[in-house]
Amino acid sequence: MSHRQQQHLFDAAPTQTPWEDAADADHMCAQVVFNRPLDTTFSYLVPDTLREAIQPGQRIRAPFGRGDRQTVGYCVGIGPPSTSVRRLKHLDSIIDDVPLLSPSILKLTAWIAERYLCPWGQVLETVVPSGVKKLAGTRVETTFTAAGSARTALEGKLPPKQRTVLELLLTAKQPLGAADVREQAECGMVPIQGLVKKGLVIAGERRVDTYDLKELESAKTDDLVLNDEQTAALRSIHDALRSGQHSTILLHGVTGSGKTEVYIQAIREVVSYGRQSIVLVPEISLTPQTIRRFRSRFNSVAVLHSHLSDAERHMYWQRIARGDVEVIVGARSAVFAPAPHLGLIVIDEEHETSFKQETAPRYHAREVARTRAAIQNVPLILGSATPTLESWRRVQERQDTLIAMHRRVADLPLPPVLVVDVRNDPRMSQGASLGRALHTAMQKALADGGQVILFLNLRGFSPTIWCRSCGEALKCPHCDISLTWHKDRAKAVCHFCDYATDQPKSCPQCGNIAIRYFGVGTQRLEQEVRSKFANYKCLRMDSDSMRKPGSHDTALESFRAGEVQILLGTQMIAKGLDFPNVTLVGVIDADTMLHQPDLRSAERTFQLIAQVAGRTGRSERGGRVLVQTCSPDEPAIRLAAGHDYLNFARYEMKHRREMSAPPFRTMARVILRGPKEPHVYEASKEFATKLRTLAESLKLPVDILGPAPAPLAKLKDNYRYHFQMSADHIESIHSLWKAAVKQPFSATDVEFVVDVDPMNLR
């Protein structure tokens, strides 16, 4: 949204065409926000006919903007008119019979709008699923009730069928639908319609469900026996639950230490109080084991994920809002589940970047959960073997409570991790993906009846298509990124805009036919594994091979059952998997993320290696991990190999402090984009200069770095420049941004977005 478009919407405020004097003290006023790029709450008069029905949290229709078009908005408050406003318009109608948003969720979304510099109306529009707004899976049914004069009419003459219908409706405890009346009175519609015409029966409407929500059942199992560390952790959580106060607990447990069982037994306590729990997991489709565990322990579990239909989302929303669900398990958006009796929020694998929303509103589910837990005065548990440095610093500052679990369940040892320097490996120099050491280790593990997991965070066959003659890579015409060769589709594909083209016969730059395919993706790794280990079944898991609903669960179950001996894939296989027969894990290229232009590259590298390593050694068979790298002395790799989170956190914290980077300062990233690069460049300079001038004049301690071309300089035909704002306190950035966007912005074809606490700097 350009600044000029934003200013146009400010000009369209509803007070431009007054309808009625608002000074009368008897008037009721509704505060309304719209899904527009505006930070304004608009006031409307509530007609007498709507006074009894309107509540905060409902959607309404009201005249808005030039021409007074009827526009859907959200009522966020009710009260007397402001003394500073003389004339206001009236609301037109109320859309929802009951509020979609509770007072606590309204308060939470207002905080999100303030924290992440996003219009409140846009936040509300995101929080309520489209299936809920559309009432998916329901229909309107005509109902019938007996009128007040019905009993008297029975004393007179009525046709037999009409008498039967009237007697039925008089004894009914609630309005009956047409189908129920016809079935129970054994009649058609004619007698019913005749009674309506006589005024003896009143026709009404109600909305009924047409969708039957079928849930997967799991055999119920008993709670597991906890070890000493788990028992101590659960005792501390119980103390927090029974205190009736909000607190945030960081449950730092090594992989395989039994964190999920601690969550489950803590939730058991919450359910015994008649309250509900929300459990956030990184990617719901990738954790079927976790879902089954919850369903085997609790009577009612709602699972919210992207594969649900609109009707399923709406049905779950209704059940949750009625308090019929004990546990809500879902990805980041489940933090907004309308649980009326919330008692606990749990975030599993809190370090995962998928908890950060990449589109507006760009919230982080961890911080939203922290705020919701504080608003509703309930505990929050953050669980991870490799916590984010933000969470670790809060523990150091005693804002959060640390519970540590250092041992695996049954005292199984953490697997030994061998860092393999492949710079001089003869197999690798010949183009292989599996170095000599890893190849030999796989042969031994498979011969012993074990299973193998191979991790490579690059999908496709070859990440780069390269011309040996001119040295140019084949790039996407819409994005500033190399195309990836997908051999199974025989296409060169852009992983950002999905542009695809046929296999190039010659270089587009110089016309030479010296085209080469450089690098290794999961498809090429799969081909090599199938060639070298033809006697063993191999399965690839990445976003290309796992497109069908349920494909993740099917693949993992075949691996669990031993039908597949080698599982390879991207980071989706690094999360939450527990396979006792895995005796070897291989990291194909540990340097993939390490050298990205991102301040969190070392942290993410450490987390990935530690998490992947945790997939083995989960039984008495033991296991080991081989990490192939060209940077064996990098601290992130060396310390991950030693399972040494504390020293890594100490090292990286020192580095971040010296850089004045998060978690020691708050950061916001501003991205400007448009179809003409010179316009974007000039706009970025203008905007950055404006911010620097304002920061100085307002005496706000905000540092501005940039502007510069974004690492991904062109995306979907838009050129991109960015700059960063950083400050000791977020309030300084808020004040500066709000002052800046109120001023004129000359570029009309340039959009800008702001990302507070960015996790992705590409």
Q: pLDDT-based confidence at 9, cuts 50/70/90?
A: very low
Pairing of strands 417-421, 301-304: unpaired
Indicate the pTM of the whole model.
Answer: 0.89
The first and second tokens of residue 607, run together, are 């987390």
Residue that is written with structure tokens 């919407």 in the block: 9
Q: Closest by alpha carbon to 149, among 201, 189, 191, 203?
A: 201
Is the per-residue pLDDT at 745 higher than 90? no
Is the per-residue pLDDT at 306 higher than 80? no
Mean pLDDT of 547-557: 78
Pairing of strands 301-304, 327-330: parallel
Q: How far apart are CA 502 and CA 492, in angstroms?
A: 6
Give per-residue burial for 67-76: e unless 16+ CB within 10 Å, then b: ebeebbbbbb
DSSP letter for each residue of 242-260: HHTS--EEEEEE-TTS-HH
Least confident of 79-88, 528-537, 626-635, 726-735: 79-88
The first and second tokens of residue 675, run together, are 């179809």
pLDDT value at residue 430 = 82
Tell me which CATH homologous superfamily contains domain 228-410.
Answer: P-loop containing nucleotide triphosphate hydrolases (3.40.50.300)
Preceding peptide of 707 cis, ω within 30°: yes
> Domain residue spans in the chain?
3-99, 138-209, 228-410, 413-463+519-657, 666-756
Q: Which contacts qualify for 491-496: CB closer than 8 Å, 24 or more apart? A: 492/465, 493/460, 495/459, 495/460, 496/712, 496/715, 496/716
pLDDT value at residue 516 = 79
Q: Is 413-463+519-657 in the same CATH topology as 228-410?
A: yes
For 24-41, write each residue's pLDDT tens digit.
Answer: 556 789 999 999 988 889
Which strand (E) or helix (H) includes residue 703? strand 703-715
The highest-level CATH class for domain 413-463+519-657 is alpha beta
Least confident of 209-218, 245-254, 616-625, 634-643: 209-218
Is the per-residue pLDDT at 619 higher than 80? no
The highest-level CATH class for domain 666-756 is alpha beta
Above pLDDT 70, what percent of the chain? Answer: 94
pLDDT value at residue 30 = 93
Residue that is written with structure tokens 């359910």 in the block: 271
Which strand (E) or helix (H) includes residue 179? helix 178-185
pLDDT value at residue 570 = 87
Question: In CATH, what number does 138-209 get?
Answer: 1.10.10.10
Q: Which residues contact 181 (CB under 8 A, 6 or more apart)?
A: 144, 165, 168, 169, 187, 192
Q: Closest by alpha carbon to 388, among 359, 415, 417, 366?
A: 366
CB 23 within 8 A of CB 53: no
Q: How far apart are CA 699 and CA 693, in angstroms?
A: 10
pLDDT value at residue 362 = 95
Q: How far apart are CA 425 and CA 422, in angstroms?
A: 5
Mean pLDDT of 676-685: 93
Q: How far apart are CA 331 and CA 313, in angstroms?
A: 13
DSSP β-bridge partners for residue 751? 673
